[in-house]
Amino acid sequence: MGIRMLVLLALIFLTLATNASAERPLTATFTRDHQLWLKKGNEEIQLTTGQYVYSPKWSYDGRFIAYIDGDERGEKSNLYIYDMKKHESYQPYIIETSNFKWSPIKNQLAYTSGGVLNTTKFKSGRPQGFENVSLGVSDFEWFPNGQEFIVSSQANLLPTG
């Protein structure tokens, strides 16, 4: 009799229990009509207007989205960052690039411009300003430790061979 009562109480408890979940809705960024959009669950939010956005990339912790504001002819490619906490786009500095990557361990951005590899500095918790890392860089990749780079440069044929 006691076992039946225990099983009955367990069944009642299981049917009445609510399913609580601490999961956050999935969040993604994408471009539509050359504007930056955010998708949270089923909701779509337009983040930019009047720009020609491409190549959005999330920061390490998801607070920032770096992207390029360019033009149809590919003559302009300015780096911008959207701050999810402050809900605004800003330029960490005026720079033209199309090759940028976030660190795999922190919210630090690296990019190439004119053959120079640069990394962002921080000001008030946001990427702001830059520091030169290496000259003569065509492409790069972060090491998994987020502290070093592997870089490559284009070969140039010189008159001396």
Angle at 152 between CA 98 and CA 118, to 5 degrees: 50
Token couple for 20 = 């609580």
Average pLDDT value over all residues in the chain:
85
pLDDT at 161 over 80: no
Strand-strand pairing, 149-152 and 27-32: unpaired
Examine residue 11 and state whether it is found in any structural domain, yes or no.
Answer: no
Examine residue 102 and state whether it is found in any structural domain, yes or no.
Answer: yes
Examine residue 140 and state whether it is found in any structural domain, yes or no.
Answer: yes
CB 80 within 8 A of CB 91: yes
Please tell me the predicted confidence (pLDDT) of residue 18.
52
For 5-55, the pLDDT digits (tens) are: 666 666 666 666 555 555 667 889 999 999 999 999 889 999 999 899 999
pLDDT category at 104 given cuts 50, 70, 90 is: very high
Please tell me the predicted confidence (pLDDT) of residue 10.
65
Examine residue 113 and state whether it is found in any structural domain, yes or no.
Answer: yes
pLDDT category at 96 given cuts 50, 70, 90 is: confident
Please tell me the predicted confidence (pLDDT) of residue 126.
86
| Residue 115, domain CATH | 2.120.10.30
Strand-strand pairing, 116-123 and 109-113: antiparallel
pLDDT at 97 over 70: yes
pLDDT at 70 over 60: yes
The average pLDDT across 120-135 equals 87
Rounded CA gap, 129 and 79, in Å? 12
Count: domains in the chain:
1
The average pLDDT across 98-111 equals 92
Please tell me the predicted confidence (pLDDT) of residue 14.
61
Please tell me the predicted confidence (pLDDT) of residue 7.
62
Rounded CA gap, 110 and 59, in Å? 11
Q: Could you list the residue range(s) of the whole structural domain that residue 94 is in?
A: 23-152
For 71-91, the pLDDT digits (tens) are: 877 778 899 999 999 999 998
Higher pLDDT, 63 or 74: 63
Examine residue 158 and state whether it is found in any structural domain, yes or no.
Answer: no
